[in-house]
């Protein structure tokens, strides 16, 4: 039997419609327009396409939206000054610095310079710590999107065995921390696997929910998946180019194989990707409300 496809495109659209109403309401009732700045350093093609999509979505939602492009050789101190300017700008509620940054810039130093109240990526240690103790202000966007995909597709999370493949600070560790919380949409038993895990398959086969953020194409095959599992594929690997010059994307899961074992699965593209952008928008609206002392 073929798995149900969990469409990130559809669920993201639903959330964006809810957000659009929220943004209109904020404008009408409180004269507040959520403001987002995206800072892009250099011209990494994947980063350019992510930032362009973030900008487009924020404009579609009616945000005050600024794209700040910087040369790849910008000095770290100048980037820090730029962030300081946006930290003080009352029209800007969310600051996003697209990663990765060029090697001469200390990524952590830059992320830690963002005001935690404007950290709509949820990467600042204050926000990471808050998430850990169940007092989150901003959930990181990709894990937040994954949790919404699970909730809105009707997947039972409470009591489920969740296996996460990958331990990055952006996806693996935060999604594990979110799903283990004593909260609605969580209360799972969570295992994190990584490159040094012995016999990965013994773990992945236990997962009622398998979340794969390994960063390697087709690294999860059907023999590694529990029959009936819900599989979330976070991987976006550029494996080639079409003759028209469009990137060919491949997930971390062997979709064609695994769709016959899983009960539900996210596609690549159209799964987690659109959710990440949408949750960034939701975080920005939240930041705008927080700044105004609303909600
Ligand atoms: N690069 C890849 N994913 C992300 C993300 O979620 N936020 C930022 N700022 N950069 C990224």
Domain residues for the domain of 60 are 31-117
In a domain, 48, yes or no: yes
- Whether 113 and 158 share a structural domain: no
For residue 128, tell me if it sits in a domain.
no
Q: Output the residue whose Cα is nearest ligand 1's atom 1.
A: 99
The answer to the question of residue 153 being in a domain is yes
Asked whether the predicted pLDDT for residue 1 surpasses 80, the reply is: no
Report if residue 217 sits inside a domain: yes
pLDDT, position 295: 76
In this structure, what token pair is assigned to residue 90? 């009352």
Mutation pick for ligand 1 pocket among 55, 113, 121, 273 (CB with most ligand atoms within 8 Å): 121
* Whether residue 111 sits in one domain with residue 55: yes
Each residue of 110-130: pLDDT tens digit?
999 999 999 999 999 999 999
How far apart are the CA of 227 and the centre of ligand 1, in A? 32
How many domains are there within the chain?
A: 2
* Rg of the chain taking only CA atoms, in angstroms: 19
pLDDT tens digits for range 148-180: 999 999 999 999 999 999 999 999 999 999 999
Q: Is 170 close to ligand 1, i.e. is its CB under 6 Å away?
A: yes
- Residues 53 and 12: beta-carbon distance below 8 Å: no
pLDDT digits (tens, 9 = 90+) for 6-40: 999 999 999 999 999 999 999 999 999 999 999 99
pTM of the model: 0.97
Evaluate whether residue 164 is within a structural domain: yes
pLDDT tens-digit profile of 189-224?
999 999 999 999 999 999 999 999 999 999 999 999
- What CATH number does the domain containing 145 carry? 3.40.50.720
Sequence-distant contacts of 46-55: CB under 8 A, at least 24 apart: 46/236, 46/238, 46/247, 47/98, 47/99, 47/100, 49/247, 50/98, 50/277, 51/98, 53/277, 54/96, 54/277, 54/280
User: Is residue 6 assigned to a domain?
Assistant: no
Would you say residue 62 lies in a domain?
yes
Residues 152 and 101 both lie in one domain: no
Q: Are residues 40 and 98 both part of a single domain?
A: yes
The answer on 179 and 58 residing in a single domain is no
Residue 99 CA to ligand 1 center (angstroms) comes to 5
Residue of 170, 172, 213, 281 best suited for mutating to test ligand 1, as the one with most atoms within 8 Å of CB: 170
| Mean pLDDT, rounded, for 264-273 | 97
Residues 176 and 265 in one domain: yes
99: domain CATH number is 3.40.50.10860
* Residue 292 CA from chain centroid, whole number: 25
């Amino acid at each position: 039997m073929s798995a149900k496809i969990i469409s990130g495109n559809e669920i993201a659209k639903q959330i964006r419609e809810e957000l659009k109403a929220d943004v209109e309401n904020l404008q009408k009732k409180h004269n507040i327009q959520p403001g987002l700045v995206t800072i892009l350093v250099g011209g990494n093609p994947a980063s350019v396409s992510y930032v362009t999509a973030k900008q487009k979505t924020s404009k579609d939602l009616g945000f005050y939206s600024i794209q700040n492009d910087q040369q790849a050789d910008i000095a770290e101190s100048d980037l820090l000054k730029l962030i300081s300017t946006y930290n003080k700008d009352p029209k800007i509620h969310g600051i996003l610095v697209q990663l990765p940054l060029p090697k001469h810039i200390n990524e952590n130093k830059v992320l830690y310079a963002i005001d935690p109240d404007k950290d709509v990526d949820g990467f600042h240690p204050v926000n990471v710590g808050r998430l850990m103790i169940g007092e989150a202000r901003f959930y990181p966007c990709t894990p937040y999107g994954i949790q919404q995909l699970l909730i809105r597709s009707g997947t039972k999370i409470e009591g489920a065995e969740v296996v996460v493949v990958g331990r990055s600070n952006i996806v693996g560790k935060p999604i594990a921390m979110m799903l283990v919380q004593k909260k609605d949409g969580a209360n799972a038993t969570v295992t994190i696997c990584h490159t040094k895990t012995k016999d990965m398959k013994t773990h992945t086969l236990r997962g009622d929910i398998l979340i794969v953020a390994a960063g390697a194409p087709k690294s999860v095959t059907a023999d590694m998946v529990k029959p009936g599992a819900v599989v979330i594929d976070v991987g976006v690997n550029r494996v080639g180019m079409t003759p028209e010059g469009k990137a060919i994307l491949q997930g971390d899961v062997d979709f064609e194989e695994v769709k016959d074992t899983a009960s539900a699965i996210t596609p690549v593209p159209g799964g987690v990707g659109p959710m990440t952008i949408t949750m960034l928008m939701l975080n920005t609206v939240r930041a705008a409300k927080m700044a105004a002392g609303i909600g």
